Amino acid sequence: MQPSAPASTSSDPGTKKPKKRFVGTKSTKVPRTGVSTTVANQIPQEILADPQLNAAIKQLPSNYSFEIHKTIHHVKKNNATVVALQLPEGLQMFACTIADIIERFTDALTVIMGDVTYGACCIDDYTAVALGCDMLIHYGHSCLVPMDQTMIKTLYVFVEIGVDSQHLAQTVRLNFPDDRSIFHESLLASEESDAKLPAGTIIGRLNHLRIEGSATSEQSSVVTQSTDSAPPTRTRLALVSTIQFVAALQQLKEDLTSEYSNPNPFLAPSGLLEGSTEEPAPVDGQPKLWTGVYDATIPRSKPLSPGELLGCTAPPIGDVDALIYLGDGRFHLESVMIQNPDIPAFRYDPYSKKLTRERYGHQEMRSIRNDAVQIARKSIDSLVSASTEESPLWGVILGTLGRQGSFKQLQAITKQLASSRTSIPYMPILLSELSPAKLALFNPHISTFVQTSCPRLSIDWGYAFERPLLTPYETAVAVGKAVGWMDESGESKGTYPMDFYSAGTPWAVSRVKAEF
């Protein structure tokens, strides 16, 4: 922004001069021209233009952004001598190639950390330090543990993955009417009725919301609103993904919040059935695309990036007609579905190029988790009448896989147990990975387990454990410190929250203050 020009001194004295905000510097020192400021993290040109480095980078898939130039720059800038590489299993196949590039173009040695990495919470800076490394590069996840809190210099590489954005936008426009009333009538209503049919019922090929046209070459491959009707209410969509596709979400939002005017031939997006990986060709009589403007939003749950989901953390979404998840698999999608049980969910798989309606057994999950809480409560009641030798105790598990567990959060939980209406005796337990077989080995004297590793261990696998395996939130419900999701009669009365890392929640605060 340039400073405003000074007001004229010859203006009418009765005219009030507008106040102007000062923009610039009060320093009288004249800056030297031709001197550019050096940005500390700016990648030097000799790295960007290194022909041998660029040739080596071509050994990696071009649609995966491993940020090799940035990596080489940071390794050199930090004078790193031993660099630890931590990748999730889906990227482990590229570890040796990345290690070879780092060792060839820097003076550092590399160590590949092969332990399982489930998510951003599994960053293993402690092990990297124990191995004698002086730098850690963590791939595939966002900065859940800030770099100023790790025990070692850390670089996060999100590994953004390229998406066919045109195919994605066309697929949405093919299946989702831009008119909210038509969306509910033609998609949700008919889709819900088909879902009630017995298994094996033939319902025929989906007709893409009844917007296909006749096979005439004169017709356009787009659908526009009639000028005689009242202005439609825009269809409201929420867009979410994992960190690899957040950039693609922004592009999708831009495509949906502007009118469709693509002059290219219709590319036959996949829709709710099949995707096509072959070279597309225009075909007369293809279903039409909706060309209007959608009300697309990208929700955020801080400290995560806009649209980003974790398996344990998802944003509450307001009044929308549907949510679209961009990504493969269901783990992260289920998080936002649990947080927003009343919003229809759809998943676009960027690899298979398929768009599917996704569902979740909310009532079953809530009932199973409520049963675990009720069993834990009964063990509290038994403390009143039990003798010292017979009284049950709770096992409080500190997850030791990377940064999954927080010692301060464990302290907060034990304080909560001690201050319960009936003080609950507990036993601290350290475990890297939990399994039914592992916990079954513990003395039956332990009536209930509380785990700080990952809420999804309890939500997804809690039924497989012989004794209740509670999350910090469920523990608070069991001791009467938090409101539950079901009433005494077993009816749902609220949402089961997925806010384990959301800023300001008791679980996030406890990692800092050691109390809820």
**SS3 readout for 369-435:** HHHHHHHHHHHHHHHHHCCCCCCCEEEEEEECCCCCCCHHHHHHHHHHHHCCCCCCCEEEEEECCCC
- Please say if the pLDDT value at position 206 is more than 60: no
pLDDT at 266: 52
- Give dist(CA 142, CA 14) in Å, integer: 58
Residue pair 309/336 in contact by the 8 Å Cβ criterion: yes
User: Global pTM?
Assistant: 0.82
What are the tens digits of pLDDT across the range 385-441?
766 666 789 999 999 999 999 999 999 999 999 999 899 999 999 999 999 999 999
**pLDDT-based confidence at 113, cuts 50/70/90?**
very high
Q: Residue 363 pLDDT > 80, yes or no?
A: yes
Q: Is residue 264 over pLDDT 80?
A: no
CA-wise closest residue to 70 among 94, 91, 39, 96: 39
285 Cα distance to chain centroid: 38
Longest Cα–Cα distance in the chain: 95
Sign of CA dihedral 495, 500, 506, 507: positive
**Domains of the chain, first to last:** 45-159 (3.40.50.11840), 165-191+225-358 (3.40.50.11850), 362-513 (3.40.50.11860)
User: Does the pLDDT value for residue 75 go beyond 80?
Assistant: yes
pLDDT per position as a tens digit, 283-297 = 455 668 999 999 999
**Given a cut of 60, is residue 344 above it in pLDDT?**
yes
Predicted confidence (pLDDT) at residue 281 exceeds the cutoff of 90: no
- Position 14 confidence tier, pLDDT thresholds 50, 70, 90: very low
Mean pLDDT, the chain, whole residue set: 84
Q: Which residues contact 93 (CB under 8 A, 6 or more apart)?
A: none
What pLDDT is recorded for position 126? 94
Q: From the CA atom positions of the chain, what is the Rg in Å?
A: 28
With a cut of 70, say whether residue 103 has pLDDT above it: yes
In the three-class reduction of DSSP (H, G, I as helix; E, B as strand; rest coil), residue 192 is classed as helix
Structure tokens at 407: 């010692």
The answer to which of 353-362, 441-450, 480-489 has the lowest mean pLDDT is: 480-489
241 and 347 in contact (C-beta within 8 Å)? no
